[in-house]
Amino acid sequence: MQDRRNQPDSASGGTVAQPHDAPHTNDATAAIEPDDIDDFRDVLQRYADWRELMTAFLTYIQAGTETPPQRLAWLAAQIGPEAEEVYMSTADMLRAEGRAEGRAEGRTEEAARLLVRLLTRKFGLVPDSARERIDTAPLDQLEVWSDRMLDAPTLDEVFD
């Protein structure tokens, strides 16, 4: 891995500098010093599977802190081009996971909305306690209740 700190940035003609955006309260890169980057680069170089280690490190920071993506990109750039490549792959993976989670959440919300609508049509007003159970239930449970709703003579039997 190559040290990119204080080297020319081909895009701007200047040197690579830490972004100056306001740090978040839980920004994992806020206190990083140049020596820290050198030490981290040295640690990474000791491992044959350093790309996996770097991926785990970036994923942990992304999921467990409020570090903005541009600051993670900066950190990867300081470590070197190979680390930047790992960061880009990790960022793509995390975006894809986020989209999948968003779609799953949307399906669950729609199933909950539909179940409340059908229960209201069959049994009348759905009590708040039942709505709370529906709103917090996972998709597979909503599907079970939806199936039960078809044959249940009372609202309580849908949830038993």
- pLDDT for 25 equals 56
Contacts of 67 by beta carbon, 8 Å cutoff, 6+ apart? 24, 26, 27, 28, 29, 61
State yes or no: pLDDT of 31 exceeds 80. no
User: Cα separation of 108 and 113, whole Å?
Assistant: 9
Which of the residue ranges 21-35, 38-52, 131-145 would you say has the lowest mean pLDDT?
A: 21-35
- pLDDT for 10 equals 41
- pLDDT for 69 equals 78
Average pLDDT over every residue of 103-119: 92
Amino acid occupying residue 20:
H
Instruction: Give pLDDT tens digits for 51-98.
Output: 888 888 888 887 777 878 788 888 888 888 888 888 888 877 777 777
Average pLDDT over every residue of 121-145: 95
The helix/strand/coil state of 15 is strand
- The model carries a pTM of 0.46
State yes or no: pLDDT of 21 exceeds 80. no
Q: Where is pLDDT greater, at 112 or 5?
A: 112
Average pLDDT over every residue of 155-160: 94
In which band, very low, low, confident or very high, does the pLDDT at 45 lie, cut at 50, 70 and 90?
confident
The CB-side HSE value for 33 (13 A sphere, CA atoms) comes to 3
User: Which residue has 């467990």 as its token pair?
Assistant: 64
